[in-house]
Amino acid sequence: MITRLAAAFFLLLPTTVFAHGEHGGAQPIGAVRLVSIQGYQVELLSQPSPLAPGQESQVVAKIIQNSPLKPVSGGRVLISVAPSGNHDDFRLAPEVTWAGSYAVPFTPSKRGVHQVRVAIAELDGEQFDPPLLVDFQVAVGRAPGMGGVGWAFVAVLAGMTVLGLYLVILKARVGRVAEPLNLLAIPWLRRLLTAPALQPSMQIPLLLLMVIVIFLGLSDVQEGGVNVATKLTWTIWWAGIIFTFFLVGRAWCLACPFGALNEWASRIAAPVRRLPKPFRNIWWATGMFVLLTWADEQLGVVRSPSVTAWIVIFFAGLAVAIGIFYERRSFCRYLCPIGGLIGIYSMTAPVELRTRDRSVCAADREKSCYRGSAQARGCPMFEFPATMDRNTYCTFCVECVKGCGHDNLLLRLRAFGKDLWASGRRALDESYLAVMLVGLTLLVTAGMLSTWPGWIEALSRLLPSFVRSTVKPVTYLSIVESVILLGGALAAVPLMVLGGAALSDRMAGDKGLGTRRTFVVFGYMFVPIGLAMHLAHNVGHLLIEGGGIVPVVQRAVAIYTPFSLGTPDWQILPLASEAVVGVLQMGLLVGFFVVSLVAGHLLALRVYPDPRTASRALLPLAALALLFTVVGIVLLNQPMGMRHGM
């Protein structure tokens, strides 16, 4: 039933999103990308994007009527581009394939700020004398290529790899250190974490915000760049939440509105059934995450406020339905589309909740930490603290702390990424997700390159001629891109790691674990690689596009409330320069690559009887980790457009 509902919902997405309209291969450019004038909206785009010296591009002015919201075709538009702002060279911009889009060719001769002036002489049969004038500022950046900084990082990374693999052969044991501070021993912090009002105080505001997103997504203007629903959901939340996972684990789940709906529905209905066993894994969550990512890339859901609202409604309804029929937070544990992702990334967080002495738990007959008591509800995520040795499913709700009558639980800081090698629990669904995320993040990043549409078009020429002659180009291009995205993430990269596991097992000789077991064990060393690419990809969105939330919120408050937060200023500046963003991205990739090598090394020492065998077995997998990281560095050093087109 759940699978059919999800399939039916996502089958409805293409119709809704394609009705919204697209830009073709063009991408928005300039600090101010959307200007309103006399009932029209003018958006500036280029193809390819961004502009670069010596590279011929099409500068596109997309004109949309405000009410009703639709592209304006058949107009007479002139465009001038000049580095000095001296607009003497206006050229007639013919309308291109996409409705309401008027383009002129432009080849920059140098880097720096250029002025673009759009002169609208006629629209909808109405002539403007003098023409309507709209000015934009655009930056011409460097030409495509790695550049010296990118190659320097590759060289440093290669040197670190050689050094790291050399050190693997040296076996060193660190003596025991003093027990870390138990954060629950700090009185004010314990009172705060165990306060009954803590969770509702976070969940209720976020539930109200979710209602606002749904309302504005369905009722406000269907233009992603100015609607709170799309800007807040995809540019801020979707890009920013990833940073909480490696810092504080699943603490987001403590406040999550979907988790609140699931848990509250379960408390009210009080079901005693467990979710059916076929659903008690993260394969379903992985599938829904991939489906959402595909919908983002191929259907443009991030630009459609109404589709964004319906996605929120769907998962809110699913969370309530699961809570009514199945106990505790079954939706959060098994079916949340980002639940699996949160779980494996949380293994790197430098904080953990663990038992002090497992023998105390074994002697306790009540098991109130899990079952609940008058003081606590028991673990909503089906985790028994005595056997919990990793963060994957712990939300730090501290219900176990409230229910423990022996003060046998510790909340403490620990080594970054410790769960990756210290946990004794290994599962195929988690290892596959870790590896698949490496491929998915790399391919999603590649899809942002200005050269990506050209690659897809070139690959589409390999299709039989009868396919290209009978199917619309937008259809077969989308199919080709979907095959690359899904085939690369779901099959190609996992098969590469499986091949590395087979070679690793062969190099381990008679002490090998078998190919399947090697894949399952060492798949966890790829968690930092996927996480690094995910963070690096999203730090660009947050720092370059994130400031756009301010005028969007100002506009919504002015329209839908009697209050004002000031006049929206659509001249949105990045929160950090491209150079700063680039340094942060490279630092994330290199830093997490080191964590990956450390995790692989300690995993190898744990599963093989001697250091030499561990060193040999690790080599193929460490080489793959290096390869994926270098590919990430190369991709992030290419010219890119803004993913959200906002």
pLDDT digits (tens, 9 = 90+) for 1-49: 444 544 444 444 443 333 334 455 667 776 666 888 888 889 888 888 7
pLDDT score recorded for residue 172: 41
CA dihedral 371, 372, 377, 381 (to 10 degrees): -30
104-113, 209-218, 475-484, 580-589, range with greatest mean pLDDT: 209-218
Residues 6+ apart with CB under 8 A from 498: 515, 519
Closest CA relative to residue 164, chosen from 622, 523, 628? 622
Average of per-residue pLDDT values in the chain: 86
pLDDT score recorded for residue 351: 94
Give all strands (DSSP E) within 407-523, no chain letters.
Answer: 409-413
Whether residue 232 contacts residue 213, with contact meaning beta carbons closer than 8 Å, is answered with yes
pLDDT score recorded for residue 18: 34
Please give the Cα distance from 530 to 497 (Å, whole number). 13
pLDDT exceeds 50 at position 629: yes
pLDDT score recorded for residue 182: 86
Q: How many residues does the chain have?
A: 646
More confident residue, 272 or 23: 272
The number of angstroms, rounded, from the C-alpha of 28 to the middle of its chain's C-alpha atoms is: 21
Whether residue 35 contacts residue 80, with contact meaning beta carbons closer than 8 Å, is answered with no
The pLDDT tens digits of the residues spanning 51-84 come to: 887 788 889 999 988 877 888 888 899 999 887 6
The pLDDT tens digits of the residues spanning 228-243 come to: 999 999 989 988 999 9
Residues 6+ apart with CB under 8 A from 517: none
pLDDT score recorded for residue 180: 75
Task: State the DSSP string of 63-100.
Answer: EEETTTTEE--S-EEEEEEESSS-----EE--B-SSTT
| H helix runs in 249-338, sequence order | 251-255, 257-269, 283-294, 305-325, 330
Average pLDDT, stretch 419-448?
94
Binning the chain into helix, strand and coil, the percentages to the nearest 5 are 55, 15, 30
Lowest model confidence (mean pLDDT) among 103-117, 348-362, 405-419, 605-619:
103-117
Tokens at residue 185, please?
């021993």
Q: What is the DSSP letter of 53?
A: T
Closest CA relative to residue 193, chosen from 182, 180, 204, 209? 182
pLDDT exceeds 50 at position 644: no
Q: What is the DSSP letter of 296?
A: I
Please give the Cα distance from 399 to 582 (Å, whole number). 42
Q: What is the DSSP letter of 364?
A: -
Whether residue 382 contacts residue 393, with contact meaning beta carbons closer than 8 Å, is answered with yes
pLDDT bracket for residue 328 (50, 70, 90):
very high
More confident residue, 489 or 167: 489
pLDDT score recorded for residue 347: 96
Q: What is the DSSP letter of 126?
A: E
Closest CA relative to residue 533, chosen from 489, 492, 496? 489
Please give the Cα distance from 55 to 32 (Å, whole number). 22
Q: What CA–CA distances, in Å, run from 597 to 49, 91, 93, 173, 252? A: 36, 56, 54, 17, 28
Lowest model confidence (mean pLDDT) among 67-76, 217-226, 405-414, 587-596:
67-76
The number of angstroms, rounded, from the C-alpha of 167 to the middle of its chain's C-alpha atoms is: 34
Whether residue 98 contacts residue 23, with contact meaning beta carbons closer than 8 Å, is answered with yes
Please give the Cα distance from 22 to 150 (Å, whole number). 33
pLDDT bracket for residue 608 (50, 70, 90):
very high
pLDDT exceeds 70 at position 170: no
pTM: 0.75
pLDDT bracket for residue 495 (50, 70, 90):
very high
Tokens at residue 541, please?
């969105």
pLDDT bracket for residue 469 (50, 70, 90):
confident
Whether residue 531 contacts residue 594, with contact meaning beta carbons closer than 8 Å, is answered with no
Please give the Cα distance from 446 to 449 (Å, whole number). 5
pLDDT exceeds 90 at position 225: no
Whether residue 416 contacts residue 595, with contact meaning beta carbons closer than 8 Å, is answered with yes
pLDDT score recorded for residue 171: 41
Whether residue 119 contacts residue 102, with contact meaning beta carbons closer than 8 Å, is answered with no
Give the β-pairing of 57-65 and 40-47: antiparallel
The pLDDT tens digits of the residues spanning 126-163 come to: 889 889 999 888 888 765 565 544 565 567 667 767 66
The pLDDT tens digits of the residues spanning 380-396 come to: 999 999 999 999 999 99
The pLDDT tens digits of the residues spanning 337-368 come to: 999 999 999 999 999 999 999 999 988 888 99
Residues 6+ apart with CB under 8 A from 177: none
Average pLDDT, stretch 312-341?
96
Average pLDDT, stretch 171-194?
72
Query: Span 27-140: which CATH code?
Result: 2.60.40.10
The pLDDT tens digits of the residues spanning 513-566 come to: 999 999 999 999 999 999 999 999 998 888 888 888 999 999 999 999 999 998
Element (H, E) at 109: none
Q: What CA–CA distances, in Å, run from 413 to 347, 410, 525, 592, 640? A: 13, 10, 21, 19, 38
User: For the chain, where do the domains classified as CATH 2.60.40.10 start and end?
Assistant: 27-140
Tokens at residue 589, please?
């990739």
pLDDT exceeds 70 at position 463: yes
pLDDT score recorded for residue 56: 84
pLDDT bracket for residue 85 (50, 70, 90):
low
* Residue 640, strand partner residues: 449
Residue with tokens 């720092």: 543
Please give the Cα distance from 335 to 373 (Å, whole number). 27
* 527-540 and 339-346 helices, crossing angle to 10°: 110
3-state SS class at 611 = helix
pLDDT score recorded for residue 147: 53
Lowest model confidence (mean pLDDT) among 17-26, 92-101, 326-335, 574-583:
17-26
3-state SS class at 122 = strand
